[in-house]
Structure 1
Amino acid sequence: MKIIFYDTKPYDRESFAQHNQEFGFKLKFLKDKLTSESVDLARGYDVVCAFVNDTLDREVIDGLVEAGVKLVALRCAGYNNVDLSYAKDKLRIVRVPAYSPHSVAEHTVALILTLNRKIHKAYLRTRDGNFSLDGLQGFDLYNKTAGIVGAGKIAQVLMKILKGFGMRVIAYDPYPNYDVAREIGFEFVDLDTIYRESDIISLNCPLTAETKYMINEDSMKLMKDGVMIVNTGRGALVDSIDLIEALKDKKVGAAALDVYEEEGDYFFEDFSADIVEDDILARLLSFNNVLITSHQAFFTREALEAIAMVTLENIAEYVRGDKLTNEVCSRCGNK
């Protein structure tokens, strides 16, 4: 079984090479992202392993099929970059639905605390010998309301942590699990209630037609003045242009973004010697109350190990002819 990996970094190669000792697959690692220009490199491989910013549109899917690829193994949870309706009957596609919910939840809390207590600003000040407290005032999380959009595994870990701060936690999910709500101690509400009552709003939901740009001019008008918005889900959950206007108007008091709609052009790469040509991203970076991390929330040792093991086991299931536990798109007929 020959597997070609697109868009890899040294940590990907190290993790997969280590865990592949148990499976014995033939692995080829590429730095290139999967696009219509690079799809032909998959010729002669049985499986393509793709990441969150690889493109799997119609042209790429046709190219993979023509190259003889049988399976696409996504080493991520999200699959909004895949044209699933077009892939149906052409390719089988698997993913890693959960690798380390603690990693993303803990990063979310780190963003909240950093923004609230201005840790990033204090760090830079003290290194320059400035020990003034002016402009560093935050607020107690105790007795504040956190609104969580999406109530899956990541959100549940996040809610338990926030409850530990003494916060009131409310959540929206189209498929509410009231048993979990009672166990953790939060309340399911509608989206408008999330917007109206939350001091901090955290987006922990997938990107769908219903959730795209859910944070927009209209929804932000419903929010409290000075609300904090945290997005560790998908970039297009937030209309960035509307967010910029709300930041300028001080309707939004702070924003933490671990994802960005056009992140594929920048995230995971070093552009420190270049000018950021994306005007929207550059504008967001100019605000001192905006904290951006480069899709880093998943990035822990435990998460990387889980991603490698689940991805390789997904492929092993295909090789054995077993039911694909984490399949998101099934080709008709036998493999």
Structure 2
Amino acid sequence: MTGNNSGEAVRPPRGANIRDVARAAGVSHQTVSRVINGHPSLREETRQRVVEAMEQLAFRPNRAARALVTSRSRILGVLVSNGLEYGPAASLQAIEAAAADAGYSIDIANLEGTDRDSIVAALDRLMDHAVEGLVILAPQSRSLKVIEDLSIRLPFVTVHSTGRFVDHRLSVDQLSGARLATRHLLELGHRSILHLAGPEGWVETAARLQGYREEMAAWQVPALEAPEGDWTAESGYRIGKKLMAGRSFSAVFSSNDQMALGMVHALAEAGLRVPQDVSVVGFDDIPEAAHYLPPLTTVRQDFPELGRRCVAALLGLLVGEPSLSPGDVVPELIIRGSTAPVAARTD
């Protein structure tokens, strides 16, 4: 910003732009963008200095920033973790489809890590693109804890939650899905049911493990837990191989379908038949699950419904009419050929 002999600020001959404001306030243009977009990571002193520079220069935000302020960009941001497994990937696809049906597009920011700097950088990218609302699709507990500690000013919903975002959360009821899977095996007469859990630190891992434990306890049957896997078929196979020598289970509830596939492979190599010797249940109902050998009994998540609810909730928040549907999306048990009554086993 320049001055005249009286020391007053002189506006540039053209309309002021974001870099003019940055120079006048003594900050970077990225900081000005964050002020425009209401980013939570700024000091109040910095925010006020930028606002004063905007007023002095009669700054008019560009089209993207103005669209954010007026909530008319018709873009919804989605904050996602890198390396999406089937569940989060299917959720993202459902959110994109539901947004398109409502006349919105989505802008995706991938998290490079679960630390605060990575999450703030991803939020920056979305806010710089003038997204109207935000869907948080970060299934790791550590990421959610960082996000919960930020003051997010945009309307948002989260597909996972560690507790504080209850009023913003929409998800598939993982716990009841795990209880469905476990109850199915118990009703078939199995009492030695092994649970193959996902990796530690994932919201789904904890919920599905809790559901398994609760259902086993309700039937007064001891829980039997394998070492945790990493969602891959390879980990299910590797863990299954280690468990074959002293096998003490007649059924397996795997925390996802891919690990169930690896477990079925390990059982077959050990000369055991599914379901005659060991019944196996997965979780997710990936498209390939119906074509496993045998076809996999699993828990289906209604991702299209989840996507519709997320977008409907955001649109409600944007017009000041919160419309979060009470309760989680209810999962469904899909019974196929990988489970059978324990009496069907032959030695």
TM category (shorter chain) comes to: 0.3 to 0.5
- Structure having the larger proportion of residues in helix: 2
Q: Which has the higher contact order (CA 8 A, sep 6+)?
A: 1
